[in-house]
């Protein structure tokens, strides 16, 4: 049904000119991104990082200051939003309250002046796909938030766009429904095979939905990669800190040989995989995830427990090592020794579980 298209963003910038004398604001700073046809890509980052501005430039709601946007190989900078082969699913749903579900979904098809039979066929197919069969005559105020979001998704899909754009579509839903709806969105996207660009600040949403994640910060792209690449091999401290929870241990590189580095980390010598650009003598940071550690009565790093909290699936520890405090999640604490605040402990981990930046 869909004829999905790739998206190529070349040296894209957006500068908002200040009229108050406070200086111009560069919301997006010379970014380049290639998205393959049929791929689900998420723009992820904190508020003000430029992700929504980037999405709105692809949609045509914002005009780039510099750079080009290509859709299926065609430059679309000069096309108005209605002339671009895209559909947007908004955060606010943007449904027509005076139209029933069927008419909301069929609205765009009627504007295209398709025949009644063609409209009915396309609308019925999409209504079945998103699980709204039997609700066609209801109005938006008679639906739950999740059902309204399905209508918004159906209305975008029925236009058979080359690219589907999502602007934080689940932020108005409660936590449980968000998890359910993100699963449904991914399932529908895969079934239809459409290219999707999704904006969120929710890292778990990005991890569960995406083929690739684009991490943005202050208008630039910090890293592009699969969820596993972003999590296990973050390119920068910002990425490591933004995705999940990360501990940072200061170190100094003593040797580099055959893809491995010898690092002095607060007096402990570690040999780890390394393919970065630092040299012998440079300072570095070791990224260590809380779940990648075990604590015990002997090990690599000695520290003092500053907090110990039972979280059900794991015991959550904060441990002071020298000047650093690190987080450790010890899973299945029922069958393990639990250390209380003030206890002296040792931290163990496999060097395969650490990453050097």
Identify whether residues 271 and 169 lie together within a single domain. no
pLDDT score at 171: 87
Q: In this structure, what are the phi and psi dihedrals at residue 72, rounded to the nearest 5 degrees? A: 60, 30
Identify whether residues 221 and 340 lie together within a single domain. no
Q: Which domain holds residue 142?
A: 7-237
Cα angle 128, 131, 132 (rounded to 5 degrees) comes to 85
Local confidence band at 307 (pLDDT 50, 70, 90 cut-offs): very high
Which of 36-40, 262-266, 278-282 is modeled with the greatest confidence?
A: 36-40
- 39 within some domain: yes
Does pLDDT of 242 surpass 70? yes
Identify whether residues 14 and 59 lie together within a single domain. yes
- 23 within some domain: yes
Identify whether residues 351 and 314 lie together within a single domain. yes
- 293 within some domain: yes
pLDDT score at 267: 85
pLDDT score at 323: 83
- 1 within some domain: no
Q: What is the CATH number of the domain that holds 24?
A: 3.40.50.300
Identify whether residues 14 and 79 lie together within a single domain. yes
Residue that terminates a domain, selected from 187, 213, 237: 237
Local confidence band at 355 (pLDDT 50, 70, 90 cut-offs): very high
- 67 within some domain: yes
Q: In this structure, what are the phi and psi dihedrals at residue 58, rounded to the nearest 5 degrees? A: -65, -40
pLDDT tens figures, 191-211: 999 999 999 999 999 999 999
- 2 within some domain: no
Q: What is the DSSP letter of 143?
A: S
pLDDT tens figures, 134-152: 999 999 999 998 999 999 9
Q: What is the CATH number of the domain that holds 292?
A: 2.40.50.140
**Do 164 and 7 contact (CB within 8 A), yes or no?**
no
Identify whether residues 224 and 317 lie together within a single domain. no
- 32 within some domain: yes
Residue 261 half-sphere exposure toward CB, CA atoms < 13 A = 25
Helix axes 175-192, 116-129, angle to 10 degrees: 130
Identify whether residues 65 and 131 lie together within a single domain. yes
Total count of domains within the chain? 2
Does pLDDT of 168 surpass 70? yes
Residue that terminates a domain, selected from 237, 272, 292: 237
Identify whether residues 149 and 225 lie together within a single domain. yes
SS3 state at 89: strand
Local confidence band at 338 (pLDDT 50, 70, 90 cut-offs): very high
Does pLDDT of 10 surpass 80? yes
Identify whether residues 286 and 213 lie together within a single domain. no
The whole-chain average pLDDT of the chain stands at 93
- Tokens coding 185: 């969105």
Residue that terminates a domain, selected from 219, 237, 255: 237
pLDDT tens figures, 308-322: 999 999 999 999 998
pLDDT score at 194: 94
Residues 130 and 127: their CA atoms lie apart, in Å, by 6
pLDDT score at 21: 65
Does pLDDT of 177 surpass 90? no
Residues sharing a CB contact under 8 Å with residue 299, sequence separation 6 or more, in sequence order:
346, 347, 348
Identify whether residues 177 and 78 lie together within a single domain. yes
Does pLDDT of 326 surpass 70? yes
pLDDT score at 2: 56
Identify whether residues 166 and 44 lie together within a single domain. yes
- 229 within some domain: yes
Identify whether residues 75 and 30 lie together within a single domain. yes
pTM of the model: 0.90
């Amino acid at each position: 049904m869909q004829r999905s298209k790739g998206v190529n963003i070349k040296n894209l910038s957006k500068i908002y000119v200040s009229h108050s004398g406070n200086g111009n604001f560069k919301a997006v700073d010379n970014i380049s991104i290639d998205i393959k046809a049929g791929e689900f890509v998420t723009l992820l980052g904190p508020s003000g990082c430029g992700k929504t501005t980037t999405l709105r430039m692809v949609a045509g709601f914002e005009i780039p200051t510099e750079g080009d946007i290509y859709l299926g190989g065609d430059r679309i900078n000069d096309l108005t939003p209605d002339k671009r082969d895209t559909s947007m699913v908004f955060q606010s749903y943007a449904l027509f309250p005076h139209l029933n579900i069927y008419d909301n979904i069929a609205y765009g098809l009627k504007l295209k002046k398709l025949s009644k039979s063609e409209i009915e066929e396309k609308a019925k197919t999409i209504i079945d796909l998103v699980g709204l069969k039997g609700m066609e005559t209801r109005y938006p105020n008679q639906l739950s938030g999740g059902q309204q979001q399905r209508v918004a998704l159906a209305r975008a899909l029925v236009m058979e766009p080359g690219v589907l754009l999502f602007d934080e579509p689940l932020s108005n839903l409660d936590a449980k429904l968000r998890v359910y709806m993100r699963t449904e969105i991914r399932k529908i996207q895969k079934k239809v095979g459409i290219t999707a660009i999704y904006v969120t600040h929710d890292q778990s949403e990005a991890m569960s939905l995406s083929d690739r994640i684009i991490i943005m910060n202050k208008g630039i792209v910090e890293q592009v990669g699969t969820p596993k690449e972003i999590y296990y091999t973050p390119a920068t401290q910002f990425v490591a800190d933004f995705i999940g929870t990360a501990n940072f241990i200061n170190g100094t590189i003593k040797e580099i040989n055959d893809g491995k580095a010898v690092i002095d980390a607060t007096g402990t010598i570690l040999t780890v995989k390394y393919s970065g650009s630092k040299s012998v003598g440079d300072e570095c940071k070791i990224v260590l995830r809380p779940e990648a550690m075990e604590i015990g009565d002997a090990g690599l790093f000695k520290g003092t427990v500053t907090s110990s909290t039972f979280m059900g699936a794991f015991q959550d520890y904060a441990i002071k090592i020298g000047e650093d405090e690190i987080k450790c999640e010890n899973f299945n604490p029922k069958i393990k020794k639990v250390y209380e605040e003030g206890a002296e402990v040792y931290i163990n981990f496999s060097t395969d579980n650490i990453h050097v930046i």
